[in-house]
Amino acid sequence: MKALHDLGVAESSRALAAGQVSSLELTEHLLARVAEHDSLGCFLHLDAELALAAATAADLRRAAGSSAALLGVPLAHKDIFVTKDMPTTAGSKMLSGYRSPFDATVVERLSEAGTLSLGKLNCDEFAMGSSNENSAYQAVQNPWDRSRVPGGSSGGSAAAVAARLVPGATGTDTGGSIRQPASFTGITGIKPTYGVCSRYGMIAFASSLDQAGPMARSAEDCAMLLSAMSGFDARDATSVQQPPQDFHAQMLQARDGATAAQPLKGLRIGLPLEFFPAALAADVDGAVRAGLAELEKLGATLVDVSLPRTELAIPVYYIIAPAEASSNLSRFDGVRFGHRAAQYDDLLDMYKKTRAEGFGAEVKRRIMIGAYVLSHGYYDAYYLQAQKLRRMIADDFQLCFKQCDLIAGPVAPTVAWKAGEGADDPVKAYLADIFTLPGSLAGLPGMSVPVGFGANGMPVGLQLLGNYFSEGRLLHAAHALQQVTDWHLRKPEGF
């Protein structure tokens, strides 16, 4: 058997079922690894005692006859999901010391499925960012090159999975925060259709965009986790009413006309012209095209399509997301949650000092932009226009899906950049979200799948986008690719 930390979610599940390892052994091993690689900065909170107790309980349940697929599999959660047994900070000083009285639905469902949590994973403050450098606590290093960022905002989740500290983790994606860090660290991640995973207990950034999803080594691992995480939840008004999905079964479902050598026969993959601009880094372009060539060998056909409003997705997103953020973050007033300024003159002064101390620079920037675009006189000029364009961007995708079944392209225009490089220029970071934002604005499901390495040996992800509720089809294509390639199995040196 492989080293315990090299087992992914599905492999851990099989090893546990076969009695090759106990959950306690697996959990002890991973806790030791987390401690050994503490300098990566992945964890904001670790609870060895709780994890070991949950592992022991899982082993007892298995001995008593339970055969739940995920029973005893250790994970960790992005610190944007509230948890009753551990603190939740959303990467912000505003919530330092905060404890939720309940678990987020995603956390609750994964625990009902038998998984256990080692702790809470670092992220950009309130999930705003692309490099994890906006965390109020610590930066996260990319295990492929410690001087580079792991991406964001789910950077702690991505780095922890890539460094083999956990087989899988939860993430959230508002404008790319599952897909981009997955791409930057060489792991697999899926953001499902908006509404597939409950947002209950997921600290809100931009409610009309926020979606939870799994980050793991392979499409198979993601399929198993997503089946457990997803499903209707009456506590989230935007949760989609559909019966529970078995994404693992959907992933394995053979296509009509498929053959053993060509499992993707008949699958039409659209390549939007705008996803391959002249300015796209050559190394990213090369790896993405290598991935596409493999998909073609598997029987897929590539067709040219167009998403003419791709560039507009950036201004549209950076109006809508801050608008929603400014509204969502108004609840952090020093009264109800977390931080409160120690000294103040009156109520207004308390609000001001609390928010000035509690929020970091990027969060403040977005609150100000959001308040501005929603204010009288600017609402029509900015917010309303952005909403109209958002609809047009979604319509463009529907035109594309008349010509193809899936859409493919790069996740990000470059590989992971050096820490500190984007610090003085927020707009530069915003521009790098160009390929993930259109799908987010449309509410579509999307994946990042490793397809090789670019400059300085840094990983590159292929983005696959599908129409609403096509998670099964996305996972099927990614799984087929991972059956004939080993990019997702490569790991950073020293891990």
Chain positions contacting ligand GLN, by CB under 6 A = 127-130, 153, 173-177, 205, 321, 433
Whole-Å CA distances, 438 to 149, 175, 197, 288, 393 = 23, 8, 20, 18, 7
Least distance in angstroms from the C-beta of 89 to ligand GLN: 15
Q: Decide whether 288 or 321 has the Cβ nearer to ligand GLN.
A: 321
3-state secondary structure of 51: helix
d(CA 316, CA 299): 36
Least distance in angstroms from the C-beta of 175 to ligand GLN: 3
Cis peptide bond N-terminal to 154, omega within 30: no
Q: Decide whether 250 or 310 has the Cβ nearer to ligand GLN.
A: 310
Q: Decide whether 134 or 227 has the Cβ nearer to ligand GLN.
A: 134
Apex 352 CA angle, 348 and 356, nearest 5: 170
Residue nearest to ligand GLN (CB): 177
Query: Is 67 an active-site residue?
Result: no
Q: What's the distance, Cα to Cα, between the start and end of the chain in Å? A: 17
Q: Decide whether 100 or 177 has the Cβ nearer to ligand GLN.
A: 177
Query: Which strand (E) or helix (H) includes residue 482?
Result: helix 471-484
Least distance in angstroms from the C-beta of 2 to ligand GLN: 32
Least distance in angstroms from the C-beta of 127 to ligand GLN: 4
Q: Decide whether 11 or 124 has the Cβ nearer to ligand GLN.
A: 124
Query: Is 130 an active-site residue?
Result: no
Instruction: Kindly name the residue from 12, 111, 131, 177 that is annotated as catalytic.
Output: 177
CA torsion through residues 182, 187, 191, 197, sign: negative
Question: DSSP letter string over 121-187?
Answer: E--SGGG--SSSTT-SS----BTTBTTB---SSSHHHHHHHHTTS-SEEEEEESSSTTHHHHHHHT-
d(CA 487, CA 64): 39
Least distance in angstroms from the C-beta of 269 to ligand GLN: 24
Instruction: Kindly name the residue from 153, 157, 198, 448 that is annotated as catalytic.
Output: 153
List 465's β-bridge partners, or say none.
407, 446
Cβ atoms of 319 and 373 within 8 Å: the answer is: yes
Query: Is 78 an active-site residue?
Result: yes
Q: Which residues contact 331 (CB under 8 A, 6 or more apart)?
A: 337
Backbone angles phi, psi at 194, to 5 degrees: -55, 125
Q: Decide whether 176 or 461 has the Cβ nearer to ligand GLN.
A: 176
Least distance in angstroms from the C-beta of 64 to ligand GLN: 40
Q: Which residues are catalytic?
A: 78, 153, 177
